[in-house]
Structure 1
Amino acid sequence: MRFMNKTIFAAAASLLACASFAAWAETVVTIDAAKPGAVINKNVYGQFAEHLGTGIYEGMWVGPDSPIPNTKGWRNDVLAALKDLHVPLVRWPGGCFADEYHWREGIGPRKDRPVKVNTMWGGVEEPNWVGTHEFFDLVELLGADAYVNGNLGTGSNQEMAEWLEYMTSNTKSGLAELRRKNGRDKPFKVAYFAVGNEAWGCGGNMTPGHYANLYKTATTFLKAPHDSRPKFIASGGNDNDVTWTTTLSKEVKDNIDAISFHYYTIPTGKWEVKGAATGFGEGEWISTMKNTLAMDKLIANNVKVLDQNDPQKKIGFYVDEWGTWYDVEKGTNSGFLYQQNSLRDAVVAALNFNIFHNYADRVRMTNIAQMVNVLQAMILTDKDKMLKTPTYHAYHMYVPFQDATTLPVAIKDNGAYKLGETAVPQVSASAARGKDGKLYLALVNTNPNKETEVTVNVAGGKAGAVQGRMLTAGAMDAHNTFAQPDAVKPVPFTAQAKGGKLSMKLPAKSVVVVNVE
């Protein structure tokens, strides 16, 4: 065809110009360092350890007589790795297990403790070797706070009240003396106490109104010395359900410091077939990104309810179970929820951190599920071997955000990562002023195929350089194995301003945390 229609030519030229612009246009991230916001409670980086599979036994607790080096029965290699994360808080003993756990069976000489069946997870024997005293050994060795989940489902108000007295009383009461007989003179520090878990499901299949009444009754009898009173947590909703937050914030006026919330990221969005932890295609990469970013709206919907019913912001919103949930690894007990952990999980973790920071005034605690060998774990073990997962490294990179002060971030010209009908923002960002006075910036590139360039501005000042660490890998499902435990790990990252402009190139599927100088 010798001649081109002028209209077609103009349209083609316009498309070429747009394509050219898209090729060089940069995402601009502007930090307003002059407008500090809410403090990111360190407990946003909390952990969760449930009596589930090898999450506690073998994974963390091997007993004082084990040939695996340990302190008071807890593995030294795991303790050291978790201490490096500055773990602020550990939730225990569940989860669903909490509503079948009877604390008296986990005290006294271990040889005398009854063996039960863990009907919630795998139908295996539960020896009760890890009980109240052992758990507090763990949190004290880590320098962490304790979040104890009470048994409302199969327990009683008396049982919960007596457990709290056993842990916190500084008197000569029978329960305090029993604690002393079992080797602990001083009271334990219980920072948080929850009344039941997932009351809408495994915790009793209750309605919000019924649970609210039970909660009010239970907390009437939960007493501790004034200077040792824990914060009380009500079991809230999950997914798109805001009725629990609505009912509890309206009907419970006393003894409520927070409402819990659970949300898991599932690639397929279907519980029956969730998707594999490794060996997945790009379709499940982007669906995972989309489904995890739904956390933002879920929190926003619940915070909106709380702002209406609790404008003084007395009630926190604790996402005390979250993370990725895949089909279990082949050849493992389906009740143990053991799954591999890849670069995708690290990106998911970082995206959620950035979301949590945006709601720091309400989201004052979150607990990823779970710490070792279960779901989106920090650590995987196999007998005496141990490795740190990509999720572990994401947590380690974000340590400077613990108790940091949020700073507003504006993102301009943020591209979209698209695949078929699905699209998500390519760049996620969060900034804060650390306790050390430094300005920290976290960036995530969700696109698994393309790097993106980001210009960093600091409103009212200049960004001269950044230095920190970056986490990425060649494959979407890159992961660490016992043969190659460092296949995925952070590497140093730096960038310098040129001509008064600070630009950073974020590799595909990467997490970057830097100090902005």
Structure 2
Amino acid sequence: MANLRAANGHPEPWDVKFLGIGNETWGGGGNMRPEYYADVYRQYQTFVRQYGKEPLYKIACGPNIDDFNWTSVVMQSAGPYMDGLSLHHYALTDLWEHKGDAVDFTDDEWRSLLNSAKKMDYFIHEHALRMDRYDPEHRVDLIVDEWGSWLKEQAGTNPAFLYQQNTLRDAMVAATTLNIFNKHAERVHMANIAQMVNVLQSMVLTDGSKMLLTPTYFVFLMYQFHQDANRLAAYCSQGSDLSYTVSEKDGEYILSFCNASLTADEPVEITLPTAVGKATYAKILHEDQANAHNTFDDPERVQLKDFTQAQAEGPAVRLQVPKMSVVTLKFEKK
């Protein structure tokens, strides 16, 4: 295999850091029982040798959504041999066999998709409790390596390719889920949206030489500022449709809010640890239509806009987060 790699233009070994051993082995990856998979994992990871300078990070196949027994069994039997345990959860409007349309949806379907996405908080919490029983030192991380909206494929496309359009509703799913991940930063080490281009909740759609950016792309663009930051505990009076993340990095505070309500703007006040100066970044993703999306005929229908409604006084930041919007702010520390 090394000779084959060299013959194809890469004589040096690939610098692989993360290795998942098996994928969805509870389903299409083998229809295994957790007891059987744990033994197979233990066997296969034995032969994943350590050759490079950096330690290889081994990820075991974790549960299907709320299969808490899977987590308990695999952690008990194979926990010492893994660095991470995976978790998959897709947001749905209904059952798997009744997936809703990606663009033509009702208010109830908006709410049901968001409610499905919010279950990620419960799943992470419950699986972490099972992991803690066999790993009280939190050595093993939770790896949410598949998540996002799973809706009907676009009419006229190959159903097997899972091509679906991406609207403002998907942006709400993305921001809500990222806020959940940030909330559980002590356990969630990695979180990968299912696919990036043309499949499920994509950030980029292409058609031949054409390319467009989806509403989900802009959420990731705003939330990138939270990477490598320190999460801050923050509290604000909020409705059930508002989620948020507050963090600190490089002398700045980063605040992100998602108001997934279809009807109500949400006033927010956050008190930061120190006084702040001017905003160095203030953007909003918002449209009046719930199913607003970009097309190849109108690729800039949904874009980031400047947000001017935030006010800072001392350590307090006040703003009103419009319905169906995602806002990210950065403030200099005084």
TM-score band, normalised by shorter chain: over 0.9
Equivalent residue runs for 1:76-95 within 5 Å: none
Aligned to 1:283: 108
- Out of 235, 238, 250, which is 1:410 matched to? 235
Amino acid in the other structure paired with 1:367? N
- Out of 266, 272, 275, which is 1:452 matched to? 266
- Out of 359, 372, 395, which is 2:220 matched to? 395
- Out of 247, 261, 268, which is 1:432 matched to? 247
- 8 Å contact from structure 1 (residues 457, 463) kept in 2: no
Aligned to 2:211: 386
Which of the two has greater strand per residue? 2
1:491 partnered with 2:305: yes
Amino acid in the other structure paired with 1:257? D
Amino acid in the other structure paired with 1:456? I
How many Å separate the matches in 1 of 2:263 and 2:113?
16
Aligned to 1:211: 37
Aligned to 1:317: 142
How many Å separate the matches in 2 of 1:516 and 1:409?
15
Equivalent residue runs for 1:19-418 within 5 Å: 175-268=1-94, 270-412=95-237, 414-415=238-239
How far apart are 1:234 and its partner, in Å? 0.6
Amino acid in the other structure paired with 2:285? L
How many Å separate the matches in 2 of 1:328 and 1:499?
49
How many Å separate the matches in 2 of 1:265 and 1:220?
35
- 8 Å contact from structure 2 (residues 79, 134) kept in 1: no
How many Å separate the matches in 2 of 1:368 and 1:498?
37
In structure 2, the residue corresponding to 1:185 is in which secondary structure? coil
Q: Percent identity?
A: 40
Question: For residues 394-441 of structure 1, what are the alpha-carbon distances to aligned partners after superposition, in whole Å with 9 as ceiling and x for unaligned?
Answer: 0011111111111101122x23xxxxxxxxx1211111112x331101
TM-score (norm 2): 0.94
Amino acid in the other structure paired with 2:179? N
How many Å separate the matches in 1 of 2:192 and 2:133?
26
- 8 Å contact from structure 2 (residues 271, 315) kept in 1: no
Amino acid in the other structure paired with 2:264? K
1:462 partnered with 2:284: no
- 8 Å contact from structure 1 (residues 456, 463) kept in 2: no
How many Å separate the matches in 2 of 1:257 and 1:248?
13
Amino acid in the other structure paired with 2:234? V
How many Å separate the matches in 2 of 1:497 and 1:357?
24
How many Å separate the matches in 2 of 1:358 and 1:235?
23
Q: Which stretch has the larger CA shift, 234-243 or 476-485?
A: 234-243
- 8 Å contact from structure 1 (residues 223, 229) kept in 2: no
Amino acid in the other structure paired with 2:297? A
How many Å separate the matches in 2 of 1:275 and 1:177?
48
Structure 1: unaligned runs, 5 residues or longer: 1-174, 416-424
How many Å separate the matches in 1 of 2:317 and 2:192?
35
Amino acid in the other structure paired with 2:326? V
In structure 2, the residue corresponding to 1:380 is in which secondary structure? strand
Choose between structure 1 and 2 for higher RCO, CA contacts under 8 A separated by at least 6 residues: 1
Q: Closer, same or farther in 2 for the Cα pair 1:310/1:180, shift >3 Å?
A: same
TM-score (norm 1): 0.62
How far apart are 1:247 and its partner, in Å? 1.2
In structure 1, the residue corresponding to 2:151 is in which secondary structure? coil
- Out of 325, 328, 332, which is 1:510 matched to? 325
How many Å separate the matches in 2 of 1:400 and 1:498?
22
In structure 2, the residue corresponding to 1:233 is in which secondary structure? strand
Q: Closer, same or farther in 2 for the Cα pair 1:463/1:455, shift >3 Å?
A: farther
How far apart are 1:255 and its partner, in Å? 3.0
Amino acid in the other structure paired with 1:211? Y
How far apart are 1:182 and its partner, in Å? 2.1
Question: For residues 57-99 of structure 1, what are the alpha-carbon distances to aligned partners after superposition, in whole Å with 9 as ceiling and x for unaligned?
Answer: xxxxxxxxxxxxxxxxxxxxxxxxxxxxxxxxxxxxxxxxxxx
How many Å separate the matches in 1 of 2:312 and 2:139?
43
How many Å separate the matches in 1 of 2:313 and 2:81?
56
How far apart are 1:508 and its partner, in Å? 1.2
How many residues in Structure 1 have an aligned counterpart in Structure 2? 330
How far apart are 1:475 and its partner, in Å? 0.5
